Chain A
Amino acid sequence: MTTTLTQRYIAATVKSLSPAAQVDVRAELEASIADAIEGRVEQGEKREDAERTVLTELGDPTVLAAGYADRPLHLIGPRYYVTWWRLVKLLLMIVPVCVVGGVALGQTLSGAPIGTIIGQSIAAGLSSIVHVCFWVTLVFAVLERTGADMGLQWDVDQLPEPQPTGVGRADLIAQLVLLGLAAGAVLWDQFRGFVRTDGESLPLLSPELWPYLIALIGLEAVFVIVLYVRGRWSTALAVVNTALAVLFMSVVLTLLVRGQLFNPEFVEVFRAVSGVGQDTLRTLAVLLGFSVAGVSVWDIIDGWLKKHRDGR
């Protein structure tokens, strides 16, 4: 005996139902479909055509089965969607950055060539994005199906607070004081010396650098004052902020890589006193480089975020 369309349809519908429901649904569906076909045949339709029409009207058996089993036909419904989206956004802001930073640092410390460092970091970053999206979505899809209540309810206290963008008088003074301290430290290092050996001052930084560093600090101070006068972040200010950060980062990193940032005499003394090897020095330099890059990149992003907030 050949299987009819109806038998195939019913088999496709009940196969995903629980064994207890299967028998019942099968018998009921058989009767309903037979009734419907008969009704059409009585009106003069051919049996095969009637069967086709009836089954077509019943639609996709998977959808029908979902109706019987009360299963959702979506991955994540309105109950969890907003929570899911917030969590994905939050994790995507944090995890890939940490992974890329971590892998880049690890590769650099292990002395990998620059191509490997970049390649490995990008690969790790991409795979972290995929992992974050996949696992978070999987958890929420399961929640949607088990119907667990997370007890998360929105209330007015969750409204985002207006975030200050740091253009007030207090911010101006604080930043100018910090810049002043930095300039003071550079000058003190140069002319008085933090390190003294045999009564002689020994600058930490390379002796010919200080005018440039003071100039950079001066530019930054000018920027802070202009920002205060303007009263709000603008695209132009964000661009200048980016330029300053890139300038600072590239100068420091270039000097660091060429070994011109620190006073060679100081490095010698430091090695002699602390007894650390070349490897440790290199590790310290890499860590310093990553810190400088991290701070600068954050400063750039921060500027654009503040511009975005003030633009509203």
Chain B
Amino acid sequence: MDEGFEGHQQELRRGTIVLACLRLLRTAGYGYGLLQELERRGFTVDANTLYPLLRRLEKQGFLTSEWNTDETRPRKFYRTSPAGVRLAEMLTREWLALSDAIASLTDDSPTTPTDEER
């Protein structure tokens, strides 16, 4: 792939990880499990990006966490807080609006810009 392509692609993907985490963590999950789940659903993210991100979202109050020591290996489970749910709703709306806007760009492909939509 072109070098230029990759930069733009990463830029576009950056914000989507937050949204994906907030929505996936409505059922509690832990770091490595979430990483696998994201991968499985087609979100590419590095472990060294995800782990600090989870802590940051927790600090901002969008995630809550608790330690689960029932299993042999104690794990820190994160869950989306009410504030996190509201954030996820807002981001989803934004995402859909953007998606519509981009779809409208590809649907009518005029050679010259028109103002018919206004």
Contacts and interface: CB of A to CB of B under 8 A. Distances in A.
A29 B51 contact: yes
A58 B52 contact: no
A137 to B, nearest CB: 27
Nearest to A70: B56
Contacts of A287: none
Contact of A31 (B36, B52, B53, B73): B73
Contact of B76 (A31, A39, A57, A70): A31
Contact of B48 (A25, A34, A64, A70): A64
B32 A39 contact: yes
A28 B35 CA distance: 14
A28 B73 contact: no
Q: Interface residue tally of chain B, by bracket? A: 20 to 34
A39 B55 CA distance: 23
A303 to B, nearest CB: 45
Interface string B35-49: 110000000001111
Contacts of A67: 48-49, 51-53
A24 B47 CA distance: 17
B26 interface: no
Chain A interface main SS type: helix
Interface string A48-71: 000000000111000110011010
Nearest to A58: B48
A25 B76 CA distance: 10
Contacts of B49: 67
Given A39-B36, A68-B55, A28 B31 contact: yes
Nearest to B46: A57
A35 interface: yes
13 contacts: A24-B76, A28-B76, A29-B51, A31-B30, A31-B32, A31-B73, A31-B75, A35-B75, A57-B47, A64-B48, A64-B51, A67-B48, A67-B49
